[in-house]
Chain A
Amino acid sequence: MPGVTLDAVRKEFPGGAIAVDDLSLEIADGEFMILVGSSGCGKTTALRMIAGLEQPSAGTIRIGDRVVNDVSARDRDIAMVFQNYALYPHMTVARNLAYPLRQRRMPKREIAERVREVAEMLSLDGLLGRRPAQLSGGQRQRVAMGRALVREPEVFLLDEPLSNLDAKLRIQMRAALKRLHARLGVTTVYVTHDQVEAMTLGDRIAVLSEGKLQQLGQPQEVYDLPANAFVAGFIGSPAMNLLRGRIRDGRVTAGDLALERAGVPDQELLVGVRPEALSTASEGMPSFDLHVAVVEPLGDEVIVHGSVQAEVARVTAEESDGVLLADDGDRANAVARLDPGSRPKVDSVIRLGVRAADVHLFNADTGNAIR
């Protein structure tokens, strides 16, 4: 089973918009690769180019060793699950599932056999006679997947397949997808804007922003060692706290947080600390004050929102979802995840500490990580 390779792929739309810029990606045979990023980052366009629904403006796309730039979508032996499922509304589930096989002129008996198999695998057996309009969202999603699976394609493409499902169903389907991939081992490319899906499903994830690849790596790697401030802020929920700061003579300062970091030249910085890396300050830890604004008890932990003394760091335009408090001059918003024992009071000031090794440094101009 071949992998997929994108080599310096670029997509420019008439009008000048550059959806994908110099994307190079090698997806190994049997790998579950996730393309993740916020809307407009080019992930769907990249997926559609692999599918053959869009033509790259430059670069090559390979499936296995075959260059497929000029091969039409129907001949690429790829199956795709669309975001809105794209089920044929006038056909029953059975006929929807059978459709790809009928197009390939498979003998009827074999078609019936395969349809049965797939229906059983996805628990659709009772629904074969129904039309899409009579199915629930989750059932439709499974039919869409079934239709893709029934062909036993070389590559499996999924375009935000879970985004139209409710939260509970989403979690169930995530697990089901993972089991399915483990069982079938088909090379899969999966697009999502949800970083939780990315982290939980992917063998490797590719973080994209504005058409460019920001980082490629295994989920844990991307989490632990983000390549730049964008990735740092995108992966992890709640997002990493990013504060403006600087390093002089090996001493990092950001607001009232201070720590030593050797071997890094003087420069303006973005200092990143994950909410989960924060705890009530103890001796010897770099620490800073947090003015508590909102306390969210979750049972196994407490999420504390507040402000710290610092300049606010602006990384991307859509960064501020979940920000409850207005920035106030020389204070920045920060979030901490603390253990349930600590129950800070609103409007109090708590001292939060972090291990020096858990502090990420990024150059303030380029956003690139500094190790």
Chain B
Amino acid sequence: MATPSLGAVSERFPPLPDSRSRRRLRLPFSPWHLFLAPLAAIMLVPLVWMAILSLESEPQARSFPPVLIPSSLHFENYLTTWNSAPFGHFFLNSALYSLATVAGNLVFCSLAAYAFARIRFFGREVLFVILLATLMVPFQVLLIPTFLIVKKLGMVDSIGGLIVPNLCSAFGIFMLRQFFRTLPIELEEAARIDGTSRLGILWKIVLPLSMPALATLAIIQFMWSWNDFLWPLIIINTSTHAPLQLGLSTLQGAHGTQWNLLMAGTLMSQVPMLAAFLFAQRWFIRSIAFTGIK
């Protein structure tokens, strides 16, 4: 799977209509900056603004014109916000939700994908098509019945109710199966001849070679679970059981007009994801680009 190397055809100045001679505007920098800099500003200003607001005092946050450079930095906003809602629980719940669904997907999707890719068993093709078909159905169709099922299982308003329906995704199976099929089959055949069990082959040979695909699945699932909102909204009622995004929206209800605190809360909730992204950009970008290759 090629890494987007993020660098391409050599840089040229865009030619003006008369390109025969060098009578061009020679700026000290490439003209593209004139487009990219404002663009970057548009993309980043909301986030920067959020950070600034989170450090302002309440009157400053609610002043007009808006205060761009606060006179003093109110770091205690973070503490106040943290204490005003069960943030610790929010983080914990999100962490559990994300990690559990990632783990579940990695395990169950690998097993299933390997079987679909390499094991000939009765009904394989039909089963795969059925699973694939579920991808076509939007979540909203599944929403209400899943709610009823979770209710029947007694898992409403619990972290289990969040996790269990998301332990295995058809998308993950599809993606891993495609990947497994690109691996050279000779390695697995050799191991079979040596008497290794199917499980052994999966664990010792196929998975180690599939790190990029597994990482992609993990990242996509993690992002999805961490940022999930609709499902927790339906399932969770108690704030201490809420994951982060849901908790954040309840914060909105609680602090309505206390924008500085609300922004502090928002920033806190985004930091893990932002940090992970900045730290592992290449992986994130690769994973996202990969979803386009269908």
Within 8 A of B (CB), among A38-95: 70-72, 74-75
Mark B residues whose CB is within 8 Å of A. 15, 19-22
Extra A-B contacts (6), CB below 8 Å, given A72-B15, A74-B19, A75-B19: A70-B21, A70-B22, A71-B20, A72-B19, A72-B20, A75-B20
User: Could you say which residues of chain A place their CB within 8 Å of the CB of B20?
Assistant: 71-72, 75
Docked CA distance A237–B19 (Å) = 47
Docked CA distance A70–B19 (Å) = 9
Question: Would you call the interface of chain A mostly helix, strand, loop, or mixed?
Answer: loop
Q: How far is the CB of B276 from chain A (nearest CB, A)?
A: 34
User: Could you say which residues of chain B place their CB within 8 Å of the CB of A74?
Assistant: 19
Docked CA distance A318–B126 (Å) = 58
Counted as pairs of residues, one from A and one from B, with CB atoms less than 8 Å apart, the total is 9
User: Could you say which residues of chain A place their CB within 8 Å of the CB of B21?
Assistant: 70
Q: How far is the CB of A83 from chain B (nearest CB, A)?
A: 17
Docked CA distance A72–B21 (Å) = 9
- Interface residue total, chain A, C-beta cutoff 8 A: 5
Q: How far is the CB of B21 from chain A (nearest CB, A)?
A: 7
Docked CA distance A224–B20 (Å) = 45
- For B15, the closest partner residue in chain A by CB is A72
Q: How far is the CB of A66 from chain B (nearest CB, A)?
A: 11
Docked CA distance A98–B88 (Å) = 67
User: Could you say which residues of chain A place their CB within 8 Å of the CB of B22?
Assistant: 70
- For A72, the closest partner residue in chain B by CB is B19
- For A69, the closest partner residue in chain B by CB is B22
Q: How far is the CB of B30 from chain A (nearest CB, A)?
A: 16
Docked CA distance A211–B205 (Å) = 48
Docked CA distance A71–B21 (Å) = 7
Q: List 9 A–B pairs whose Cβ atoms lie within 8 Å, in order of A's numbering.
A: A70-B21, A70-B22, A71-B20, A72-B15, A72-B19, A72-B20, A74-B19, A75-B19, A75-B20
User: Could you say which residues of chain A place their CB within 8 Å of the CB of B15?
Assistant: 72
Docked CA distance A75–B20 (Å) = 7
- For A53, the closest partner residue in chain B by CB is B10
User: Could you say which residues of chain B place their CB within 8 Å of the CB of A75?
Assistant: 19-20
Q: How far is the CB of B182 from chain A (nearest CB, A)?
A: 22
Docked CA distance A75–B22 (Å) = 13
Against B, the Cβ 8 Å flags (1 = close, 0 = not) of A166-197 are 00000000000000000000000000000000
Q: How far is the CB of A29 from chain B (nearest CB, A)?
A: 23
User: Could you say which residues of chain B place their CB within 8 Å of the CB of A72?
Assistant: 15, 19-20
Against B, the Cβ 8 Å flags (1 = close, 0 = not) of A212-246 are 00000000000000000000000000000000000
